[in-house]
Structure 1
Amino acid sequence: MGITSGVGHFFQSIIEVIQGIFAAIFNAFALVLHTIADAGKGVVHFVEGTLGFAIHNFFILGTIAAGILGYLYYQQRQGSTTASRTLKNK
């Protein structure tokens, strides 16, 4: 009984070693795929954040520029700017 169970355990351990090798290979490929997927997600989040920052700043700068332009047009209509006084004097 002892020899047969020893031989059985020996073959069982060989099968477990082969299964362990296949599991290690599979996990290595899974790690590579997960790393690539996470890097892709990181790039997407970076681009999303960068575009969001640029769009928000575009609207803020556009609003400021529109306010300045409106103020300059208002001053020009009132005749209080140097340029409008120069044009009226000629």
Structure 2
Amino acid sequence: MSSIITSIKDLIASIFEVIFSIFHTAFDAVYGLLHACIGFVVGTIKMALYTVGDSLKALGGVGKFIASNFVVIALIAGGAYGYLQYQRRQGRTVRVGEKKLN
């Protein structure tokens, strides 16, 4: 008689465990889906921010390169202008091909 009661008790416990397991699995599935969706949205936003930030860093590097080239070209132009002014003050003419520059 006690084995029948124990068996019924185990059967009822197993039924509750199955029901609890089904709810637990459903909750885990919904939680996993929400977690994946939120991770996707956050990941997309982070990717966009990193892309913009890295593009600005690259643009900063290109900007520095262009600025340094501009400085070098300005120094060369200033030196050429100074040379031409020096030659003019000395009374010498500077010829390029058949043209006089001053």
1:77 aligned partner: 82
Q: TM-score, normalised by structure 1?
A: 0.83
Gap regions ≥5 residues in structure 2 = 1-5, 85-93
Q: Between Structure 1 and Structure 2, whose CA radius of gyration is higher?
A: 2
Question: Paired residue for 2:48, among 38, 43, 47?
Answer: 43
2:29 aligned partner: 24
State the Cα RMSD in Å. Answer: 1.7
Which structure shows the bigger proportion of residues in helix conformation?
1
Query: What is the SS of the residue equivalent to 1:11?
Result: helix
Q: 2: distance between equivalents of 1:26 and 1:9?
A: 25
Gap regions ≥5 residues in structure 1 = none
| Amino acid corresponding to residue 79 of structure 2 in structure 1 | Y
| Amino acid corresponding to residue 60 of structure 1 in structure 2 | F
Q: 2: distance between equivalents of 1:12 and 1:53?
A: 58
Q: TM-score, normalised by structure 2?
A: 0.75
Identity of aligned residues (%): 11
Higher normalized contact order (CA 8 Å, seq sep 6+, divided by chain length): 2
